[in-house]
């Protein structure tokens, strides 16, 4: 007579289940550490004195006492915030440039890209020999264009057009850079909206532009937000064009950060403060609107 | 998209367009075109010093171009009515891209075969195939191209890690949103800030925490940018750090879109976890994987910021990507001709390579998914 030891079997199962949990959460924690540690290091360094940096003290209040050193050098610490500070003015100018350029370029790209994607998903075109599929391939193929191919011609052209170091020039370049991504995302969005909706609107007396503005745009607004956010991330972080095409008036935050690193003997705390201040706006946006960003990234990939 | 015959959304022309309306539309279009061409020719003559009178720079010609573009858009509706309104959806974007890409590319061909130092006053000098000859014998350019191949090969590892993370996030775990947001954070950081945070401070040989850790592990004199191999590896790791979240999210979306039935069927049939992954999940994920890797390759081919700001191509050009090499070439000599030619050659290689890659991956996907 054989009997199955259910108890033992169940115990084995449970043990394996717990081991699995342990591995999963262990890996999650390890990767969280990988993702967060550089951030933690940067933020904490901005509160360290030179001696703390040398000694490699890591944990605030435990083995170093936070001071406002880095933020004071930026003019952003509590005691200097109301005083006149040239560094802070400089920083605010760069920040403002970044905001203007990236927000305008992203918005422009979303407008142009949505219109084009909508047109391509609803009507059939013929520009010369180009049909719809050719036109959308033309837009999307811009994605593989490496910026370096256009960089030097732009430099020369912009010099002739007096567009170097202007907002208009930078916005145009950034719009071009993110346009294919916007078209890609929006094309998918419009494909999910049934045509019957517009047909009903047309029957009710709206024009195609009226139907687009009043019926379609509200429906795909989440997609537009997603496209805008992705474009914003790319524009905000862009360095290559900014380094080439701007000099004094309109250079953006990445250019400012990069220009500080080259100097002899790095000022650890002030660089850390500058980097923190430069990435904080976007990290904030990203954490708050994470859902939309993910929606944007996965739009084109998964059918 | 290619299967659409005729419009998906039909419209009815409201009324006839009178001949005089058409006439005025055409006239306005031609007048603005003539104005633009006139401005262009005038300024060209001025630049060639054939005539003394002209604009200070080409900006007025740009404004004339804007005028022509605006008139072109408006006259679509004036001349063609409803059909014109449809064209108006695509026209602005198309005009924008054509004037920002096609024209500069043609211009790049003009620059690419010349010796043009922006700092000197001699201006452009046509020098035939000199740039091509120089490129063929330039060991640094070949090195940069080989580096790009190496950097692209690193995507295989990035893909494996990203896939692993996506599988992790797809498990039944508590606080999934928290982990997802945390894993997404590196994506938001600008490469320049990353290159300072990681490249210049954490990998700093004396005080950086990573160097400290490496010393603790027993590496006597940790230096991450000293010899070519470790320098390349460090660049790869930094770039991977910012881009793994991107791949992870796309793969995660793919995993979540897998049909439950198939997975359950595999489980009922007695497939082990290992078999389920390799025989079911992985092949089903192939299309998403291919898209993800393709996009990643495209972004990888643009890699420059981290290299420019951390190593500036060093040691001895070992870490150069094509983009950073051309950037340095321009910064050092302010000669646009040679750099432009290098960039054009790079573009040709990319277009060719990507086409081949897409064909191959298409075939692999077909074969793998066909077997299921």
CATH class as words, domain A86-299 = mainly alpha
CB within 8 Å: B93 and A139: yes
Question: Which residues 77-96 on chain A approach chain B with CB closer than 8 angstroms?
Answer: none
Q: Which of B89, B92, B168 to probe the A interface (max A CBs under 10 A)?
A: B89
Two structure tokens written together for A189: 């969005």
pLDDT in tens, B144-203: 999 999 999 999 999 999 999 999 998 888 888 888 888 988 888 888 888 888 887 788
A9 and chain B in contact, CB less than 8 A: no
CA-nearest residue to A231 within chain B is B188
Residue-level pLDDT at B174: 85
Minimum-distance CB partner of A54 among B187, B207, B322:
B207
Written in H, E and C, the secondary structure of A144-163 is: HCCHHHHHHHHHHHHHHHCC
Minimum-distance CB partner of A153 among B2, B104, B308:
B104
B275 and chain A in contact, CB less than 8 A: no
A114 and chain B in contact, CB less than 8 A: no
Inform me whether the pLDDT recorded for B305 exceeds 90.
no
Residue-level pLDDT at B368: 75
| pLDDT confidence bin for B14, thresholds 50/70/90 | low
3-state secondary structure of B312: coil
Helices (H) and strands (E) in chain B, counts: 16, 2
Name the residue with higher pLDDT: B342 or B124: B342
Residue B315: is the preceding peptide bond cis (ω within 30°)? yes
Contacts of B101 in chain A (CB under 8 A): 142, 145, 150, 176
- Name the residue among A245, A273, A247, A276 with its Cα closest to residue A259: A247
Minimum-distance CB partner of B93 among A27, A115, A301:
A115
Residue-level pLDDT at A192: 84
- Name the residue among B96, B127, B147, B97 with its Cα closest to residue B346: B147
Question: Which residues 148-187 on chain A approach chain B with CB closer than 8 angstroms?
Answer: 148-157, 159-163, 172-173, 175-176, 179, 183, 187
Q: Measure CA B226 to chain center.
A: 30
Q: How confident is the prediction for chain A on average, in pLDDT?
A: 84
| pLDDT confidence bin for A4, thresholds 50/70/90 | low
Question: Which residues 326-345 on chain B approach chain A with CB closer than 8 angstroms?
Answer: 326-327, 330, 336, 339-340, 343-344
Name the residue with higher pLDDT: A260 or B26: B26
Name the residue with higher pLDDT: A59 or A27: A27
Q: What is the mean pLDDT of residues A256-264?
A: 69
DSSP B272-301: -HHHIIIIIIHHHHHHHHHHHHHHHHHHHT
B311, B323 contact by CB (below 8 A):
no
- Residue A283: Cβ-neighbour burial (10 angstroms; 0-12, 13-18, 19+): middle
Cross-strand pairs, A130: A127
B115 backbone dihedrals φ, ψ, rounded to 5°: -110, 105
CA-nearest residue to A140 within chain B is B97
Name the residue with higher pLDDT: B370 or A226: A226
Q: At how many degrees (to 10) do helices B282-300 and B228-257 cross?
A: 140
Q: What pTM did the predictor assign?
A: 0.89
Helix (H) or strand (E) holding B124: strand B124-126
* Shortest CA gap A8–chain B (Å): 21
Instruction: Report the alpha-carbon distance of residue B297 to residue A79 in Å, rounded.
Output: 48
Minimum-distance CB partner of A142 among B5, B8, B101:
B101
Residue-level pLDDT at B3: 38
Cross-strand pairs, B116: B124
| pLDDT confidence bin for B2, thresholds 50/70/90 | very low
Please give the C-alpha separations between residue B85 and each of B13, B62, B127, in angstroms, as whole numbers.
Answer: 11, 25, 48
CB within 8 Å: A112 and B96: yes
CB within 8 Å: B308 and A243: yes
Contacts of A245 in chain B (CB under 8 A): none
For chain A, what percent of residues have pLDDT higher than 90?
Answer: 19
pLDDT in tens, A183-207: 988 988 888 888 888 888 888 888 8
Contacts of A133 (CB under 8 A, 6+ apart): B1, B2
Inform me whether the pLDDT recorded for B49 exceeds 50.
yes
Length reported for chain A? 303
pLDDT in tens, B104-139: 999 898 888 888 887 777 777 788 788 888 888 888
- Name the residue among B36, B208, B348, B344 with its Cα closest to residue A152: B344
Contacts of B181 in chain A (CB under 8 A): 286-287, 290
* Strand blocks (E) in A58-169: none
CB within 8 Å: A139 and B191: no
How far apart, in Å, do the first and last CA atoms of chain A sit?
56
* Shortest CA gap B18–chain A (Å): 20
């Amino acid at each position: 007579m054989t009997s199955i030891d259910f108890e033992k079997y169940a115990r084995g199962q449970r043990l394996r289940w717990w081991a699995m949990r342990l591995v999963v959460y262990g890996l999650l924690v390890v990767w969280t550490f990988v993702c967060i540690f550089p951030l933690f290091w940067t933020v904490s360094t901005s509160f360290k004195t030179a001696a703390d940096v040398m000694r490699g003290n890591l944990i605030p209040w435990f083995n170093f006492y936070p001071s406002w050193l880095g933020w004071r050098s930026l003019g952003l610490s509590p005691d200097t915030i109301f005083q006149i500070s040239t560094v802070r003015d400089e920083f605010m100018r760069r920040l403002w440039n970044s905001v203007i350029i990236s927000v305008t370029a992203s918005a422009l790209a979303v407008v142009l890209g949505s219109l084009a994607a909508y047109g391509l998903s609803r009507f059939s075109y013929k520009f010369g020999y180009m049909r719809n599929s050719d036109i959308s391939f033309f837009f999307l193929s811009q994605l593989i264009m490496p910026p370096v191919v256009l960089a030097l011609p732009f430099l020369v052209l912009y010099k002739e057009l007096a567009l170097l170091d202007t907002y208009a020039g930078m916005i145009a370049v950034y719009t071009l850079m993110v346009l294919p991504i916007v078209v890609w995302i929006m094309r998918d969005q419009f494909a999910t909206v049934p045509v019957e909706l517009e047909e009903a609107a047309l029957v009710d007396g709206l024009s195609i532009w009226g139907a687009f503005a009043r019926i379609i745009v509200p429906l795909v607004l989440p997609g537009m937000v997603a496209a805008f956010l992705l474009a914003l991330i790319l524009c905000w972080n862009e360095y290559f064009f900014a380094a080439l095409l701007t000099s004094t008036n309109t250079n953006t935050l990445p250019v400012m950060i990069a220009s500080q690193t080259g100097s002899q003997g790095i000022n650890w705390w002030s660089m850390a403060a500058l980097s923190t201040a430069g990435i904080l706006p976007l990290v904030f946006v990203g954490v708050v609107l994470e859902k939309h960003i993910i929606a944007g990234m996965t739009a084109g990939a998964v059918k | 998209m290619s299967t659409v015959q005729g419009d998906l959304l039909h419209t009815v022309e409201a009324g006839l367009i009178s001949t005089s309306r058409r006439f005025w539309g055409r006239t306005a279009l031609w007048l603005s075109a003539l104005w633009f061409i006139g401005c262009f020719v005038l300024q060209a003559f001025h630049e060639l010093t054939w005539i003394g009178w002209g604009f200070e720079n080409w900006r007025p010609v740009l404004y004339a171009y804007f005028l022509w573009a605006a008139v072109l858009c408006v006259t679509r509706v004036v001349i063609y009515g409803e059909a014109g309104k449809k064209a108006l959806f695509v026209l602005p974007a198309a005009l924008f891209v054509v004037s920002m890409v096609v024209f500069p590319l043609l211009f790049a061909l003009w620059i690419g075969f010349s010796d043009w130092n922006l700092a000197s006053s001699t201006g452009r000098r046509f020098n035939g195939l000199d740039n091509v000859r120089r490129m063929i014998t330039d060991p640094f350019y070949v090195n940069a191209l080989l580096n790009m191949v190496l950097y692209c090969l690193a995507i295989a590892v990035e893909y494996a890690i990203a896939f692993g993370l996506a599988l992790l996030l797809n498990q039944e775990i508590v606080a999934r949103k928290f982990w997802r947001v945390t894993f997404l954070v590196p994506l938001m950081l600008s490469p320049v800030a990353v290159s300072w945070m990681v490249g210049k401070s954490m990998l700093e040989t004396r005080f950086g925490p990573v160097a400290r850790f490496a010393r603790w592990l027993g590496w006597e004199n940790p230096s991450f940018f000293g010899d070519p191999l470790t320098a390349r590896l460090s660049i790869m790791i930094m770039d991977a750090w910012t881009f793994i979240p991107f791949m992870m999210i796309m793969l995660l979306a793919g995993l979540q879109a897998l049909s439950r039935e198939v997975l359950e069927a595999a489980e009922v049939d007695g497939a082990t976890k290992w078999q389920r992954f390799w025989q079911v999940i992985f092949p089903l994920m192939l299309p998403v994987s291919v898209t993800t890797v393709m996009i990643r390759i495209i972004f990888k081919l643009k890699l420059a910021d981290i290299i420019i700001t951390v190593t500036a191509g060093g040691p001895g050009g070992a870490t150069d990507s094509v983009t950073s090499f051309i950037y340095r070439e321009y910064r050092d000599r302010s000669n646009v001709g040679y750099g432009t030619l290098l960039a054009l050659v790079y573009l040709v290689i990319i277009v060719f390579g990507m086409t081949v890659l897409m064909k191959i991956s298409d075939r692999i996907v077909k074969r793998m998914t066909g077997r299921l």
